[in-house]
Amino acid sequence: MRKSSLLRDLVGGFGAGIIVVWFVAMFVGWIALREELDEIYDASLARVADHVLSISDRSGGGTRGSDLFVELTAPDGTVQFRSPGTDSTLFSMAADQGFSEAGDMRVLTLHNPDGSALRVADPLKERREAARETLVAMLLPSVLLLPLAFLATRAFIRRRLAPIRALSAEVEGRSAADLHPIDAPATPEELEPVRDAINRLMARLSDAFEAERSFSSNAAHELRTPIAAAYAQTQLLIDKADDPAIRSRAEAIARTMQRLSRLSAKLLELARAEVVRDDDPGLHDLAPVLRLVASDCKGGHRYDIPDHPVMVRMDVDVFAPMARNLIENAELHGQQPVTIRLTKQLFQVSNHGQMVAPDKLARLTRRFERAGSREIGSGLGLAIVDTLAQNAGGWLELQSPIPGSVDGFRATVHFGPMRQDS
């Protein structure tokens, strides 16, 4: 089904209105033109008749105009003169006095004081031809101007709809974390309710996200102390347990406490990532930051980092956790070595390992989504990277298998906005 278009509907409506008004104007003009031409021709016919009548009074005979038919009758009705070729029944259909139409002729009947009568007939064909020629002369410029009127109407409407496109671009250009009210002072009065409704919606979303972030941050922060205490008690139990079964269970509890500790740390990191936003971070050399972060990880890395400074418009406090999470994710779920690449356009981490299915790949940036076993990882690393990338004006791209290979996983952070063809 074809989508409706406000521009198309307005141009079509205005265009149809212009055509209807144009046709009505042409019709009314045609009627007025015919009446005006009839008056002009009737006046000319009356002048000719008066002239012929004066001649007939002096000569007692008749004459004929170039395209007129004349009949002069005596008081007793005897025809004294009739133009050659005149239909004998033509004047019998005319009125006794004044103007009338007889067939395709316009007839004027005048009476002399002595009772004689003069009838002058003018063909209507000439009048109609003159009216048609005048109408065509009026129509041709109008027909040529109609397309210009359509184009002018379309340009005017398109210009007046520009605030809608500006409002759309303002909303579309926002990142997922930017829920500030839209400030569009040039918004027309009719669009102000839409703008205000969007602002109210973003305010509600901002409040909801803030409540969620506060809950996650507070919960993770409050859990750190009891988790650490429970882990310490478990280690004490392991050291003092003589029964192998008790020791094994205590070690399992300790591993669970470690996972809970990592999860609470990731939740805190995610909460911080969701509020971090710097509209003007400035240029920073990310190469030494990346080398420092990678050195803290397990090792076994293959570097593709230029020797010269890699200046990128991104805060190092945003890039560092982004790099750490991607490298840790590769070490945890893939094989060694991990290839780390950095340019002015992107940061990329890839390694070989089990291929991720396309449907699961599309969900990996969601919270608590894992590519493999639920016992491995927190399911928050890629969500943190995706959030940081978006807040920094970039975007995260995931690929599996690695292009040109049959397996593996590649994560790429692009430092610029996503292109439409990506």
Which pLDDT score is estimated for 2? 62
Which pLDDT score is estimated for 421? 47
Give a yes or no: residue 419 inside a domain.
no
Which pLDDT score is estimated for 148? 84
Which pLDDT score is estimated for 371? 63
Residue appearing with tokens 């141009």: 11
Pair 240, 307 in one domain: no
Q: Where are the beta strands (DSSP E) in 231-300?
A: 284-285
Q: Report the b/e string of 36-63 with b at 16+ CB within 10 A.
A: ebbeebbeebeebbeebbeebeeeeebe
Final residue before a domain boundary, out of 142, 159, 176 = 159
Give a yes or no: residue 405 inside a domain.
yes
Pair 253, 381 in one domain: no
Pair 64, 42 in one domain: yes
8 Å CB contact between 386 and 177: no
Nearest of 374, 364, 373, 367 to residue 400 by alpha carbon: 364
CATH of the domain at 216: 1.10.287.130
Pair 307, 267 in one domain: no
Give a yes or no: residue 422 inside a domain.
no
Pair 208, 342 in one domain: no
Give a yes or no: residue 259 inside a domain.
yes
Which pLDDT score is estimated for 412? 94
Pair 24, 132 in one domain: yes
Which pLDDT score is estimated for 164? 81
CATH of the domain at 391: 3.30.565.10
Question: What range defines the domain where residue 343 resides?
Answer: 279-414
Pair 390, 259 in one domain: no
Pair 223, 245 in one domain: yes
pLDDT in tens, the chain (422 residues): 566 677 777 777 877 888 888 788 878 877 887 777 777 777 776 776 666 666 554 444 444 445 677 777 787 777 777 777 667 677 767 777 777 877 777 777 887 777 777 788 877 787 788 777 877 877 788 778 878 888 888 888 888 878 888 888 877 777 666 777 887 777 777 778 888 888 888 888 878 777 766 776 676 667 777 878 887 888 888 888 888 888 888 888 888 888 877 777 777 777 777 666 666 678 899 999 998 888 887 767 888 888 899 999 888 888 988 898 899 888 888 888 889 999 999 999 999 888 888 888 888 888 777 665 555 566 788 888 888 888 888 889 999 889 988 889 999 999 876 554 44
Pair 227, 246 in one domain: yes
Give a yes or no: residue 294 inside a domain.
yes
How many structural domains does the chain have?
Answer: 3
Final residue before a domain boundary, out of 273, 298, 332 = 273
pTM (global) more than 0.75: no
Pair 254, 288 in one domain: no
Pair 257, 287 in one domain: no
Distance CA 393, CA 132 (A): 68
Pair 226, 260 in one domain: yes
Nearest of 22, 24, 41, 49 to residue 130 by alpha carbon: 41
CB atoms within 10 A of CB 305: 17
Distance CA 257, CA 231 (A): 6
